[in-house]
Structures are given as structure tokens and as C-alpha cells.
Amino acid sequence: MTILVTGASGFAGSHLIEALLANPQYAHADIHGTCYGNAGFLETILPKNTIHAIDLTDQKATEALIQTVQPDWIFHLAAFAAVGKSYDDIPKVLQNNLLVQTSMLESVRKHAPKARVLVVGSAEEYGWSEPGELPINEDHPLRPVNAYGVSKVAQDLLGYAYFKSFGLDIVRVRPFNHIGPRQSKDFVVPAFEEQIARVERGEQNAIHVGNLDAIRDFSDVRDIVRGYILLMEKGITGEVYNLGSGKGTRIKDLLDAMIAKASVPIPIVQDPDRMRPADIPEMVCDNGKAKRLGWEIKEMNKDSIHKSI
Amino acid sequence: MTILVTGASGFAGSHLIEALLANPQYAHADIHGTCYGNAGFLETILPKNTIHAIDLTDQKATEALIQTVQPDWIFHLAAFAAVGKSYDDIPKVLQNNLLVQTSMLESVRKHAPKARVLVVGSAEEYGWSEPGELPINEDHPLRPVNAYGVSKVAQDLLGYAYFKSFGLDIVRVRPFNHIGPRQSKDFVVPAFEEQIARVERGEQNAIHVGNLDAIRDFSDVRDIVRGYILLMEKGITGEVYNLGSGKGTRIKDLLDAMIAKASVPIPIVQDPDRMRPADIPEMVCDNGKAKRLGWEIKEMNKDSIHKSI
């Protein structure tokens, strides 16, 4: 069995590779990973000849990769992923995420039409919710409020269209927020951690924050990637599955718990520049569909989100 | 008042310009139109200095246009529009329709943030329906089965995101099939007409057709463009409105009525090459929301679709 993980040097990608390597079921699988630029951590867990440095917006290069590797499974994680930063260059975020999707799906259609592909969307596809619409199940309307969310809708529905039009074996997933080791500082928890450490070292006086009232659904990245594997094993072709803890955490509570563990008092400064143009008040996942497939939350089932940080 | 119509040399665009010119309410408006390549028919209805030949995927050019024209209203119709052809180069269709949208919305955000923009989606955004889900209202799930449909979802939801994130005055519309004078032969009715004429002239023996069982909702293009104007006058910012007759017509019945009027018998040949990879069995519009705003169907209210051809 040959497995390809795109975006393998990224946050979820590297945890997914680790999870596959640790799973006896995939002990004899050929596991390949792609990275864009530096492979970094990936080099410590995969042999060099299974790491492919590639720009997946380049369709010709992507076609060559799929032709060569001939994967049975493709976990297609590669994408521009930071919501906050996605406001800086909206056309670029959209174009990048669209191109990594068309070039992969076209490559699979042409060169590996039997491969099973995990198309990775996001809770940001649901975007805006009215209070009565929570928790968010897979039938929730798509109301993305930012370019990242729109790009994920396009990726997700393009997967659906290729399933419907060309019979590709596509499974779609919409993960909610996930945290854990090696996450980039463009995301909320590592960004808070870094600032708190700076205050502790006396390099800044206070932590600067955006909207603390927002409620988000945080999972441990290791639960999320186990969910990805489960969906490839058991997901129904063409279907879409939410992955999230099902519990809402207010960003303020998350920050308070982190500050409580700090070695010095951490003053909080609200910074208008860190507020997003449209911040969704509350996102909580209805994970019933994935649970019915057998998904279990292991990493955070006993502990609160705060203890996992 | 200054009105800009993009895609003004296209099918709906040229009818929209005619409708605006014929409407006493806009007699004193400055009406501008964009075209990509040849202005064609547009030159017979608009003065040359209000016709702008422009590639709207070029953001710099689009910004310059919006800065110069300073429109109060923008009917943003420009897009690659033929579903059948959209299978030929999927990445190109998606990229083109995405770029015309990001470059226009970014231009409006930067240079005309008070302008009202009509974002034109499509019934193809709804795509696949289960029988119990008809007629299709605005809350119908988005299940596009082709690249054109996905590109229209992206355009539509990007309009929503710019409304939500930047407060732009966006009204969104999802028109169902429309027909009438000057439609391109990439669409079903003109394509049938052309083939029937060829059989009549003895240039071919039979009409070659794809799926005749599909049911679609056809409106006269003149009703659709009056709907566009009404939505700009009365539509609620951020909202989306369907435009369609509310009646389903089987393609076979449409063809039979056309053949009945032909001067010679027209044999029908089913051609697998003309079948789309995923053809949606039935699409019928629930137009209640637009009707509650005052939209009336004038061109086809007495006649059947067949008489209007």
C-alpha cells in the first residue's frame, strides 16, 4: 500500500505521518510526504527518498508526482492555512488554495483514478452562525466570512464535483480548530505562548490580544489526524465529516489558564490591529457523524483544553 | 448616478444595458460597460467612450477602472459562463472566475467602498438535488457537480465574505437558465436552433443531442435582467436571491416543440460525447424571495417556454 501525504511538513501533516508510522496497520505501507520549501522536522521521521519538495500549484509537477508515486491513498493537506494572515493578500490565498486543489484532482483523475483522496476543508467554511444553529453539523449553511473560508469551500466542493462528475473516490473532512506541538505562531495558542514567554523574560510588558470573547472548538491535533486516518478507512465516498471536540472554549478562558501558569503577572492589552474584520462569535462542532463511524477523542477526553497546552 | 456593467458585451450584459437605457428612471444615469475583446453589439447601444475593453482578471487594470468611473452601482456579470465547455479546462475556468471576483471586490474595497455591487452566482451552485428538495430555495445545500458551479459558489461566497468582513454593499443573485436573442451557441437552445437550421438546409442529416431527460427552469433573459435591476433597487445588503420562472421544462419537450416548427423532419441522434459527466436530473427555482421583493415575470407569463423561442 502506498500513502501520500501532501503538506507533510506542516502542523497536521507531520502529526499525521507520525500517526501512520506508529500504526501497526501501516507498518508495511510506503509512506510519502510532500513539502514546499524546507522539509524541517519531516526529515527526522521520513527517509529522504520519500520526501518530495514540490510546488503543488504547478500541475505538471503534480501530475509527474502522482504518476511516479501511484498512491492508493492521498491525504491532501497542503494549503495556505492561517485565517488571520489570509486578509493580507486575499487573491493570493484564494488562488493558491484553488490551484493546489485543481492540480491534485486533475492529476488523480488522469494518473491514479482509483486512489482514495481525503479533501481537507475547514470549520471556517461554515463561518457565520446564528445562535440557534449551534452546534454545527455538516448541513449547516456555508457562510464563510474570510478568504480562507471561501478557499476551503472551493476546495471542498471541488472534491464533491470530481466525485460526482468523474467518480473519484473522495472523502471530505471539515476539521475545527486544533492545537498541539509544532503549531506555527500564526495561530492563537502558540502566539499567546510566545508573548507570555516574552513577558516572562522581560522583553515586553504585556500580552497584546484581539477578540477574547470568541468561542472556538479546540481539539488535540493527534485526535484530528487519527480522524483523518479513520475517514480514509471507513468514510463513505463523496460524504463530508466534521472533526471537532464538540466543546466550546472562550478564548479569554484559554488565555486566563495560560496566564495562571506564567511565572510573572501578565497584563492584557486589547489591540484593535489584532481584531479580525469579521470575527465569528461562536463555533462548536457537532461531531456525531464522525463518532458514528468510530472516531474517539483520546488526547483530551479527561483533561480540559488548558491542561493540554 | 453612475452605473457600471461588467461583461456588458455578453448575453445577459447586453440585455441589461438595453433594459437600463429603456428605463426612464435611469435616463440621466451615466452607463458604462466593460467587454473583453470585441465589443460587438454593445457598440450599437453605448457611446464608445463608455465602453471599456478590459481584462478583469488584471487587478491593477480593474482598480484603475473603478477609480476612474467611480460607479454607484456595479452589475458584476463578467465570468466564464458555459457549463458544458467548463469541463475542457477546469483549472482555467476556476481561476478566471475567481480572479474577476477578487480583482473587482478588492478594487471596490479600495476605491469605491460605498458602491452597491450585484454579485452574480448561478443555479449551478445548488447542483445536485434529491427529489424532495425541489423547488430550490436559497437555503438549498450547495452541491455543485462541475467546475463552473464551484467557481460560482466561490464568487458568490466571496461577495458574502466582503459584505461581512469589510461592510461592502453586496447583493447576491442566483439566476436559473435564461434564454433569448443573442445567446451563444454554447447553450442548449441556440445549439438546437443551429443544428435544426443545418438539417433544414441539408447540411446535416440529424440533430445530435445529449441528455434530453433533464428538467431545467428557463426564463426569458429580459425578465432576468429586470430582476437584476430590481435587486439593486430593493435587495437587502448581503442577502442572496434566486431568479427563475418556477416552472420545470424537460429538454425533450423543448426540442420537440422546436422540431415541430421545422420545415423538414428532424431525426434525433443521442450522442454520448454530448452527455455531461454528471447531469443533474431536475432544477426548478423557488422564486418566492424575489417575488416578495416585487419581481414579476413578464416576458413568459402567458406563453409557454416554447413560444418564446
Q: Residue B302: is its pLDDT beyond 60?
A: no
CATH code of the domain made up of A188-215+248-285+299-308: 3.90.25.10
Q: Which residues contact A157 (CB under 8 A, 6 or more apart)?
A: B142, B143, B144, B149, B150, B153
From chain A, the residues in CB contact with B277 under 8 A are 165-166
Place of cell 482598480: B63
Question: What local confidence, expressed as pLDDT, does residue A84 receive?
Answer: 73
Place of cell 527526522: A44
Query: Among the listed ranges A42-51, B79-88, B130-139, B167-176, which one has the minimum average pLDDT value?
Result: B79-88
Calculate how close chain A gets to B246, using CA atoms only, in Å: 23
Any B CB within 8 A of A157 CB? yes
CATH 3.50.50.60 fits B188-215+248-285+294-308, yes or no: no
Dist CA A92 CA A76 (whole Å): 19
- Report residue A283 as a C-alpha cell: 463555533
The verdict on a CB contact (< 8 Å) between B145 and A161 is yes
Any A CB within 8 A of B87 CB? yes
DSSP letter at A245 equals: -
- Mutating which of B99, B143, B150, B152 best tests the A interface, going by the most A Cβ atoms within 10 A? B150
Biggest CA-to-CA distance, chain A:
59
DSSP annotation string for chain B: -EEEEETTTSHHHHHHHHHHHH-GGGTTSEEEEEESS--GGGGGTS-GGGEEE--TT-HHHHHHHHHHH--SEEEE--S---TGGGGT-HHHHHHHHHHHHHHHHHHHHHH-TT-EEEEE--GGGTB---GGG-SB-TTS--B--SHHHHHHHHHHHHHHHHHHHH--EEEEEEE--EE-TT--TTSHHHHHHHHHHHHHTTS-SSEEES-SS-EE--EEHHHHHHHHHHHHHHPPTT-EEEE--S--EEHHHHHHHHHHTSSS---EEE-GGGS-SS--SB--B--HHHHHTT----TTSSS-HHHH-
Any A CB within 8 A of B238 CB? no
Any B CB within 8 A of A83 CB? no
Place of cell 476551503: A152
For chain B, give the mean pLDDT.
93
Question: What local confidence, expressed as pLDDT, does residue A86 receive?
Answer: 72
Any A CB within 8 A of B280 CB? no
The verdict on a CB contact (< 8 Å) between A98 and B94 is yes
- Mutating which of A57, A153, A170, A237 best tests the B interface, going by the most B Cβ atoms within 10 A? A153
Which ipTM was obtained for this model? 0.92
For chain A, give the mean pLDDT.
93
Question: What local confidence, expressed as pLDDT, does residue A305 receive?
Answer: 52
The verdict on a CB contact (< 8 Å) between B146 and A157 is no
- Report residue B142 as a C-alpha cell: 450547495
Q: Residue A302: is its pLDDT beyond 50?
A: no
The verdict on a CB contact (< 8 Å) between B150 and A142 is no
Calculate how close chain A gets to B265, using CA atoms only, in Å: 34
Dist CA A94 CA A304 (whole Å): 35
Q: Residue B5: is its pLDDT beyond 50?
A: yes
Per-residue confidence band for A308, with pLDDT thresholds at 50, 70 and 90? very low
Q: In this structure, are residues B92 and B148 in contact, taking their beta carbons and an 8 Å threshold?
A: no
Per-residue confidence band for A304, with pLDDT thresholds at 50, 70 and 90? very low
Question: What local confidence, expressed as pLDDT, does residue A220 receive?
Answer: 95
CB atoms within 10 A of CB B294: 10
Question: What local confidence, expressed as pLDDT, does residue A273 receive?
Answer: 83
Give the CA distances from residue A194 to residues A12, A14, A81, A206, A267, in Å, rounded to whole numbers and listed in that order. 20, 21, 19, 12, 14
The verdict on a CB contact (< 8 Å) between A90 and B98 is no
pLDDT in tens, B7-24: 999 999 999 999 999 999
Q: Residue B59: is its pLDDT beyond 50?
A: yes
Dist CA A232 CA A157 (whole Å): 18
Dist CA B247 CA B259 (whole Å): 21
Q: Using alpha carbons, select from A16, A277, A244 the residue that is nearest to residue A123.
A: A244
CB atoms within 10 A of CB A164: 22
Task: Report the chain B residue with the minimal C-alpha distance to residue A125.
Answer: B157
Per-residue confidence band for A258, with pLDDT thresholds at 50, 70 and 90? very high
Question: What local confidence, expressed as pLDDT, does residue B131 receive?
Answer: 82
From chain A, the residues in CB contact with B174 under 8 A are none
Any A CB within 8 A of B98 CB? yes
From chain B, the residues in CB contact with A276 under 8 A are 165
Pick the CATH number of B2-179+219-246 from 3.30.420.40, 3.30.470.10, 3.40.50.11540, 3.40.50.720: 3.40.50.720
Q: Residue B84: is its pLDDT beyond 80?
A: no
pLDDT in tens, B188-214: 888 899 999 999 999 999 999 989 999
**Facing residues of A4 across strands?**
A32, A74
Any A CB within 8 A of B137 CB? no
pLDDT in tens, A210-222: 899 999 999 999 9
CB atoms within 10 A of CB A180: 22
- Section B139-155 average pLDDT: 96
- Report residue B124 as a C-alpha cell: 449551478
Any B CB within 8 A of A94 CB? yes
From chain B, the residues in CB contact with A124 under 8 A are none
Q: Residue A245: is its pLDDT beyond 50?
A: yes
Q: Which residue has the higher pLDDT, A186 or A301?
A: A186
Per-residue confidence band for A206, with pLDDT thresholds at 50, 70 and 90? very high
From chain B, the residues in CB contact with A158 under 8 A are 94, 147, 150
| Nearest CB neighbour to B150, from listed A142, A161, A277 | A161
Q: Give the β-pairing of B207-209 and B268-270.
A: parallel
Calculate how close chain A gets to B33, using CA atoms only, in Å: 24
Q: In this structure, are residues B209 and B255 in contact, taking their beta carbons and an 8 Å threshold?
A: yes
Q: Residue A307: is its pLDDT beyond 50?
A: no
Q: In this structure, are residues B74 and B118 in contact, taking their beta carbons and an 8 Å threshold?
A: yes
CB atoms within 10 A of CB B151: 32
Task: Give the rounded percent of residues in chain B with a pLDDT score beyond 70.
Answer: 97
Per-residue confidence band for A27, with pLDDT thresholds at 50, 70 and 90? confident
Q: Residue B74: is its pLDDT beyond 70?
A: yes
Question: What local confidence, expressed as pLDDT, does residue B226 receive?
Answer: 98
Domain residue ranges in chain A: 2-179+219-245+286-292, 188-215+248-285+299-308
The verdict on a CB contact (< 8 Å) between B160 and A154 is no
Q: Give the number of A-B residue pairs with CB atoms closer than 8 Å.
A: 110
Secondary structure class of A98 (helix, strand, coil): helix
For B252, list phi and psi in degrees, rounded to 5: -60, -40
Task: Report the chain A residue with the minimal C-alpha distance to residue B145.
Answer: A161
Question: What local confidence, expressed as pLDDT, does residue B305 receive?
Answer: 52
Question: What local confidence, expressed as pLDDT, does residue A306 receive?
Answer: 43
Task: Report the chain B residue with the minimal C-alpha distance to residue A88.
Answer: B106
CATH code of the domain made up of A2-179+219-245+286-292: 3.40.50.720
Q: Give the β-pairing of A215-216 and B268-270.
A: unpaired
Biggest CA-to-CA distance, chain B:
59
Task: Report the chain A residue with the minimal C-alpha distance to residue B103.
Answer: A91
